[in-house]
């Protein structure tokens, strides 16, 4: 399948980047977790993008598969190196009450600013407490969310098939396997490659789905 650029991928998971964002159902596959991970690497030099990622998590974070998120985190860190913004993302998720992210909310050995250094702003407005707990410093005045730029679940479900299936089946591998099948992938090995699961659930759920949707004669 075609791999879209990051801005296109972000628009397909409900982050409004520009006025040309997609507003109709798109049958191509853009993975939710992988797009968030990629965006967190890109956001190391982009405060606006980081704000959008955190805003997305505020509104739609309960629909991410945390097991998949951490699996992708580990893969990307082997290639691109450690990224403290992923720790910050996990700390924020924990702050929101999404406790499965606790394993990623790890305290840094050395204090580091979230983005650019701003000691004067920290002195003036204080530091974000849940970030300070993991040794990441961000002035309270610099932590700004942009919920108006994020599609709600009700909006996103209208055109993102993966997200729609997360609402129906839950935030789990079954939802993504069924998404792959509905996109026309009819081989468990290819399903495994696309979504990153192991072969056993891909094969099992593929057979179950085929059984459930085959007309009885």
Q: How far apart are CA 207 and CA 217, in angstroms?
A: 18
Asked if residue 160 and residue 134 are part of one domain, the reply reads no
Asked if residue 170 and residue 145 are part of one domain, the reply reads no
Q: Is residue 57 part of a domain?
A: yes
Asked if residue 27 and residue 124 are part of one domain, the reply reads yes
> Tokens standing for 124?
């003036």
Last residue of a domain, one of 117, 134, 149: 149
Question: Please, what sign has the CA dihedral across residues 30, 31, 33, 38?
Answer: negative
Furthest CA-CA distance within the chain = 74
Asked if residue 83 and residue 161 are part of one domain, the reply reads no
Residue environment code for 73-102, b if the CB has 16+ CB neighbours within 10 A, otherwise e: beebeeeeeebbbbbbbbbbbbbeebebbe
Asked if residue 174 and residue 86 are part of one domain, the reply reads no
Asked if residue 97 and residue 192 are part of one domain, the reply reads no
Number of domains making up the chain: 2
Q: Is residue 137 part of a domain?
A: yes
Asked if residue 142 and residue 180 are part of one domain, the reply reads no
What lies within 8 Å, CB to CB, of 175 at 6+ separation is: 162, 165, 166, 168, 169
Q: Is residue 55 part of a domain?
A: yes
Q: Is residue 1 part of a domain?
A: no
pLDDT value at residue 26: 56
End-to-end CA distance of the chain: 34
Q: Is residue 36 part of a domain?
A: yes
Asked if residue 100 and residue 183 are part of one domain, the reply reads no
Domain span at residue 184 reads 153-213
136, containing H or E segment:
strand 136-137
Q: How far apart are CA 28 and CA 180, in angstroms?
A: 10
Asked if residue 135 and residue 64 are part of one domain, the reply reads yes
Asked if residue 89 and residue 139 are part of one domain, the reply reads yes
Asked if residue 10 and residue 99 are part of one domain, the reply reads yes
Helices (H) and strands (E) in the chain, counts: 12, 2
pLDDT value at residue 21: 52
pLDDT value at residue 216: 58
What lies within 8 Å, CB to CB, of 110 at 6+ separation is: 135
pLDDT value at residue 25: 54
β-pair partners for 112: 136
- What is the overall mean pLDDT for the chain? 92
Give how far Cα 23 sits from Cα of 60, 69, 75, 156, 179, Å.
17, 26, 31, 9, 19
Q: Is residue 204 part of a domain?
A: yes
Looking at the predicted structure, is the pLDDT value of residue 168 above 90?
A: yes
More confident residue, 171 or 213: 171
Last residue of a domain, one of 133, 149, 165: 149
Q: Is residue 131 part of a domain?
A: yes
pLDDT digits 0-9 by tens, 130-162: 999 999 999 999 999 999 999 999 999 998 999
Last residue of a domain, one of 149, 166, 196: 149
Asked if residue 200 and residue 118 are part of one domain, the reply reads no
What lies within 8 Å, CB to CB, of 164 at 6+ separation is: 157
Q: Is residue 31 part of a domain?
A: yes
Q: How far is CA 87 from the centre of its chain?
A: 14
Q: How far apart are CA 21 and CA 52, in angstroms?
A: 15
């Amino acid at each position: 399948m075609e791999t879209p650029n990051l801005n296109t991928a972000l628009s397909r998971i409900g982050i409004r980047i520009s006025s040309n964002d997609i507003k109709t159902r798109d049958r191509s596959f853009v993975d939710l977790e992988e797009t968030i991970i990629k965006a967190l690497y890109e956001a190391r030099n982009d405060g606006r993008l980081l704000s959008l990622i955190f805003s997305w998590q505020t509104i739609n974070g309960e629909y991410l598969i945390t097991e998949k998120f951490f699996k992708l985190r580990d893969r990307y860190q082997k290639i691109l190196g450690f990224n403290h913004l992923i720790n910050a993302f996990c700390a924020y998720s924990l702050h929101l009450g999404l406790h499965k992210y606790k394993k990623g909310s790890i305290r840094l050995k050395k204090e580091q600013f979230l983005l650019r250094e701003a000691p004067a702003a920290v002195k003036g407005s204080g530091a974000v407490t849940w970030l300070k707990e993991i040794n990441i410093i961000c002035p309270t005045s610099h932590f700004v969310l942009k919920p108006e730029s994020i599609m709600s679940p009700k909006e996103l479900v209208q055109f993102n098939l993966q997200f729609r299936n997360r609402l129906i089946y839950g935030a789990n591998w079954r939802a993504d396997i069924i998404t792959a099948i509905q996109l026309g992938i009819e081989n468990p090995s290819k399903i495994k490659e696309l979504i990153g699961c192991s072969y056993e659930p891909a094969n099992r759920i593929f057979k179950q789905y085929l059984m459930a949707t085959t007309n009885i004669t």
